[in-house]
Amino acid sequence: MNILGIETSCDDTAAAVIQNGTTIRSNVVASQKEMHKKYGGIIPEISSREHFLNFLPVVNEALDIAGITYHDLDGIAVTNGPGLAGALLVGVNSAKGLAMSWDKPLIGINHLEGHIYSAWLENNDFSKTHGFPMVCLIASGGHTDLVLMKDHLVYETIGRTVDDAAGEAFDKAARVLGLGFPGGPEIQRVSEGAAGDEHLPRAWMRDTLDFSFSGIKTALLHMAQDRGIYPSSEDVVDRQRIVRELAAAFQESIVDVVSAKLIEMAAKYKVKGLILGGGVTANARLREEIVARSPLPVIIPPPILCTDNGAMIASCGFFHLQRGQYSSLDLDVNPALSL
Interface ranges with Zn ion (CB under 5 A):
140, 308
Give strand pairing partners of 30: 13
Contact assessment for residue 30 and residue 12, using Cβ atoms and an 8 Å cutoff: yes
H or E segment at 138?
strand 134-139
Report the partner that residue 310 touches, choosing among Zn ion, ligand KG4, none (CB closer than 5 to 8 A by kind). none
Using the 8-state DSSP alphabet, how is residue 81 labeled? E
CB of 125 vs ligand KG4, minimal distance in Å: 23
Binding site for ligand KG4 (CB under 6 A): 10, 140-142, 167, 170-171, 182-185, 188, 278-280, 282-283, 307-308
Report the partner that residue 211 touches, choosing among ligand KG4, Zn ion, none (CB closer than 5 to 8 A by kind). none
The DSSP string of 235-289 is: TSTTHHHHHHHHHHHHHHHHHHHHHHHHHHHHHHTT-SEEEEESGGGG-HHHHHH
Contact assessment for residue 164 and residue 203, using Cβ atoms and an 8 Å cutoff: no
Report the partner that residue 319 touches, choosing among Zn ion, ligand KG4, none (CB closer than 5 to 8 A by kind). none
Report the partner that residue 50 touches, choosing among Zn ion, ligand KG4, none (CB closer than 5 to 8 A by kind). none
CB of 186 vs ligand KG4, minimal distance in Å: 8
CB of 121 vs Zn ion, minimal distance in Å: 15
Q: Select 118 or 188, whichever has its Cβ closest to Zn ion.
A: 118
CA-closest candidate to residue 159, choices 88, 107, 212, 209: 209
CB of 185 vs Zn ion, minimal distance in Å: 14
Q: Select 99 or 146, whichever has its Cβ closest to ligand KG4.
A: 146
* Helix 85-102 vs helix 44-66: crossing angle, to nearest 10: 30
Q: Select 104 or 175, whichever has its Cβ closest to ligand KG4.
A: 175
Contact assessment for residue 317 and residue 77, using Cβ atoms and an 8 Å cutoff: yes
Contact assessment for residue 77 and residue 7, using Cβ atoms and an 8 Å cutoff: no
Q: Select 183 or 273, whichever has its Cβ closest to ligand KG4.
A: 183
Report the partner that residue 301 touches, choosing among ligand KG4, Zn ion, none (CB closer than 5 to 8 A by kind). none
CB of 280 vs Zn ion, minimal distance in Å: 10
- Residue number closest to Zn ion, CB atom: 140
Residues whose CB is less than 8 angstroms from the CB of residue 23 and which lie 6 or more positions away in sequence, other chains included: 122
Q: Select 10 or 339, whichever has its Cβ closest to ligand KG4.
A: 10
Q: Select 24 or 280, whichever has its Cβ closest to ligand KG4.
A: 280
Q: Select 228 or 303, whichever has its Cβ closest to ligand KG4.
A: 303
Contact assessment for residue 132 and residue 155, using Cβ atoms and an 8 Å cutoff: no
CB of 309 vs ligand KG4, minimal distance in Å: 8
| 199-208 residues labelled b (16+ CB within 10 A) or e (exposed) | ebeebebeee
